[in-house]
Amino acid sequence: MGRDLHRLAERRRFVLAGVELPSPKGELGHSDGDVLAHAVMDALLGAAALGDIGELFPPTDAQWKDADSMKLLALCADRVKKAGWRLINIDCVVSCEEPKILPRREKIREALAAVLDVELNAVFVKGKTGEGLGPVGEGLAVEALAVCLLEKNEN
Ligand SMILES: [Zn+2]
Helix axes 69-82, 105-116, angle to 10 degrees: 40
The end-to-end CA distance of the chain, in Å, is: 25
Q: Is the pLDDT of residue 58 over 90?
A: no
pLDDT-based confidence at residue 64 (cuts at 50, 70, 90): confident
Q: Residue range 146-153: average pLDDT? A: 96
Average pLDDT for the chain: 95
Measured in angstroms, how far is the CA atom of residue 83 from the centroid of ligand 1? Answer: 24
pLDDT band at 38 (very low <50, low <70, confident <90, very high): very high
DSSP strands (E only) in the chain:
2-10, 14-16, 19-21, 25-27, 85-95, 123-128, 141-152
Q: Where are the beta strands (DSSP E) in 35-84?
A: none
Q: How far is the CA of 34 from the centre of ligand 1 (A)?
A: 6
Q: What is the mean pLDDT of residues 28-53?
A: 95
Give the Å distance between the CA of 96 and the centre of ligand 1: 15
Q: What pLDDT score was predicted for residue 155?
A: 67
- Cβ-based burial of 58 (10 A; exposed 0-12, middle 13-18, buried ≥19): exposed
How far apart are the CA of 60 and the centre of ligand 1, in A?
14
The model's confidence at residue 69, banded by pLDDT at 50, 70 and 90, is very high
Dump pLDDT digits (tens) for 103-146: 999 999 999 999 999 999 999 999 999 999 999 999 999 999 99
pTM listed for this prediction:
0.95
Question: What confidence category does residue 154 fall into, taking pLDDT thresholds of 50, 70 and 90?
Answer: confident
Mean pLDDT of 24-36: 91
Asked if residue 22 has a cis previous peptide bond (ω within 30° of 0), the answer is no
